[in-house]
Amino acid sequence: MTSAYQQLVDHFQQLYRLDHLAAICHWDQATMMPAGSNEARSEAMAELALIRHRRLTAPEVGDWLDAVVPHSLDTSQRANVREMRRVWRQATVLPEALVRAQSLAGARCEHAWRDQRKQNDWSGFAVNLREVVKLSREEASVRAQANGGGRYDSLLDLYEPGMTAARLDTLFGDIAGWLPELSQEIIARQSGETCTRSTGPFPVESQRALGLRVMSQLGFDFQCGRLDISAHPFCGGVPEDVRITTRYTDDDFTVGLMGVIHETGHGCYEQNLPVNWRGQPAGQARSMGIHESQSLLFEMQLGRHAAFLHWLAPLLAESFGDAVSPLLASDNLQRLYTRVKPGLIRVDADEVTYPCHVMLRYEIERALIEGNIEVNDIPELWDQKMQAGLGLSTAGDYRNGCMQDIHWTDGGFGYFPTYTLGAMYAAQLFAALSRDLGGLETLLREGDLRPLSDWLRERVWHRGSLLEAPELMREATGEELNPVWFRRHLEHRYLAR
């Protein structure tokens, strides 16, 4: 007789295959699907979401979870059951009609957003966003009632299990207490430095070829993944089939290249999740904060490190020739990559001002989900917070303001805080690996990233969700998440030299 645990394992393996199909459908929708196909694709994806929901919430799944005998399982199997139960509980509280309605509303809003953003069409975008927000509020209320917590907390927990708005307020409050002064000190120091830029042109094909070379050096496996273009960079798919996208501009190669490095961090994490637990909840990424820590560690700690840029410089010269030569004199490249300047676009922001973008979005989306503001209030509130935090105005500029991100289009409320949580995780992990490896600067100058990857593979990637985030960080770094490491990283990089 098949044990309850084995029945669960088989069932979640089937769900994983459905997730694979959904991920590739989404990748195609974002990269190459004809515009006229969106309605049919949205219906198909909604149907797939419904099938998955029915499979996950089938009565027998709860019966199997109740029938599992914990003492018959080893530690890893018990962790797998813990994660199964978490996923099952998250799904069982939602009615089928809401799941289908959210899938349809999100697909329609995201697809329309691509053109509406280009046209700065806030009024058109707001029509679709209102439906997404309405359904997200409904979801938050259902989850909060079932779990006994707050509405926003119930959505945040989907992306960062165990995190609460109260904890975020403490963490973000700490950053808000020292970041403005630090930012101004850095900007004042850099104002006396010369930083040469180049406007290219940088042909897209040359940028793509460079990105592929850097991805290979970072350890991305092209036998199980690929690079494409989308309106908003992302990493999707499953570990055996990772899809990365970026975007290019021919007057600034750093946009596409840093997008590639960032998404490669996500991709390497996915490709190196524990093979023995593939298809099981315990074998999946721990949280979006931990996921973002890997992409930000690649992009910020590694990709903007002076030693890594020393290795990168000859590749830039080979790829772009005379167009890039003004950038490569002395330590100009490092000054270029670590320039701190408030800007409108989050994905292009430097690592010092980046948290301001995240905290702005956190404050707005939390108020939106809790019903304290409405969709029509977003543009004015966004402009107020941009002026207060970064000294910039987005009045009337919706394209570069409240319409710039993709996350709210499909109801991804609760996701944004994980970016700054990821930055804090990344700084703490990088400090620990630098301490453990020793001689990291020499390795980076030579482009030898294998020891770094080996450390991450052992301490983070191969752990999947076998450990919860606090325990994972304790084992990898010696302590739970501590924002002091993020501050030390910024002070060392920008004020010590």
Q: CA 402, 252, 208, 323: dihedral to nearest 10 degrees?
A: 170
Give the tens place of pLDDT for each residue, 258-268: 999 999 999 99
Please give the pLDDT value at position 265: 98
305 neighbors 444 (Cβ within 8 angstroms)? yes
Q: How large is the average pLDDT for residues 250-254?
A: 92
> SS3 for 138?
helix
| pLDDT at 38 (0 to 100) | 87
Q: Is 263 a catalytic residue?
A: yes
Residues 149-167 have a mean pLDDT of 96
**Ramachandran category for residue 232: left, alpha or beta (phi over 0 → left; psi -120 to 50 → alpha):** beta
* Identity at 227, one-letter amino acid code: L
What are the Cα distances from residue 245, in Å, to 27, 112, 235, 348, 473? 9, 19, 6, 15, 29
The three-class DSSP label of residue 131 is: helix
Q: Which of 406, 381, 407, 409 is nearest to 394 (CA)?
A: 381
Q: Is the separation of the CB atoms in 362 and 417 below 8 Å?
A: yes
**How far apart are the C-alpha atoms of 283 and 463, rounded to whole Å?**
8
Transcribe 214-278 into DSSP letters: HHHHHT--GGGEEEEE-SS--EEEETTEEEEEE---TT-HHHHHHHHHHHHHHHHHHHTS-GGGT
Among residues 298, 320, 289, 308, which one has the least CA distance to residue 414? 289
Q: Coil, helix or strand for 452?
A: helix
pLDDT at 497 over 80: no
pLDDT digits (tens, 9 = 90+) for 198-245: 888 999 999 999 999 999 999 999 999 999 999 888 999 999 999 999
**Residue 29 backbone zone (phi > 0: left; psi -120 to 50: alpha; other: beta):** alpha
Nearest-angstrom CA–CA distance, 147 and 134: 20
pLDDT reported for residue 313: 94
pLDDT single digits (tens) 172-207: 999 999 999 999 999 999 998 888 888 889 999 999
Q: Is the pLDDT of residue 330 over 80?
A: no
Angle formed by the axes of helices 354-369 and 165-190, nearest 10°: 150
Mean pLDDT for the stretch of residues 355-383 = 98
pLDDT digits (tens, 9 = 90+) for 5-20: 999 999 999 999 999 9
Q: Which residue has the tokens 């196909």?
A: 37
Residue written as token pair 């219906």: 43
- Place 2 in a pLDDT band, splitting at 50, 70 and 90: confident
End-to-end CA distance of the chain: give it in Å, rounded: 66
346 pLDDT more than 70: yes
pLDDT computed for residue 197 by the predictor:
84
Angstrom distance (rounded) from CA 461 to CA 290: 10
Please, are residues 175 and 356 in contact by the beta-carbon 8 Å criterion?
no
3-class secondary-structure state, position 284: coil
The answer to whether the beta carbons of residues 370 and 151 sit under 8 Å apart is yes
Tokens of 455: 């450390």
Calpha distance 436→128 (Å, rounded): 50
Residue 414 gets which letter from DSSP?
Answer: T
Query: Does the pLDDT at position 1 exceed 70?
Result: no
Please determine, for residue 496, whether its predicted confidence score (pLDDT) is greater than 90.
no
Q: How confident is the model at residue 247 (pLDDT cuts 50, 70, 90)?
A: very high
- pLDDT tens readout for residues 277-302: 999 999 999 999 999 999 999 999 99
Domain ranges across the chain: 4-147, 148-497
CA distance 334 to 294: 21
pLDDT tens-digit readout, 418-448: 999 999 999 999 999 999 998 899 999 999 9
**Is 401 a residue whose pLDDT tops 90?**
yes
Query: What proportion of the chain, given as a percentage, has pLDDT over 70?
Result: 99
Task: Pull the structure tokens for residue 66.
Answer: 């109740």
Residue 83 C-beta-side C-alpha neighbours within 13 Å: 24
Per-residue pLDDT at 198: 80
Could you tell me the pLDDT band of residue 476, with boundaries at 50, 70 and 90? very high
* Summary mean pLDDT of the chain: 95
Look up the CATH number of domain 148-497. Answer: 1.10.1370.30
At 116, phi and psi to the nearest 5? -65, -35
CB 11 within 8 A of CB 67: no
Of the candidates 110, 160, 263, 292, the residue annotated as catalytic is 263
State the pLDDT at residue 192. 87
Q: Which band of pLDDT confidence, cut at 50, 70 and 90, is reported for residue 348?
A: confident
423 membership: H or E segment, kind and range: helix 417-437
Token pair 């304290």 is at which residue? 372
Q: Are 216 and 346 in contact (CB under 8 A)?
A: no
Task: Indicate the helix (H) or strand (E) that contains 333.
Answer: helix 332-337
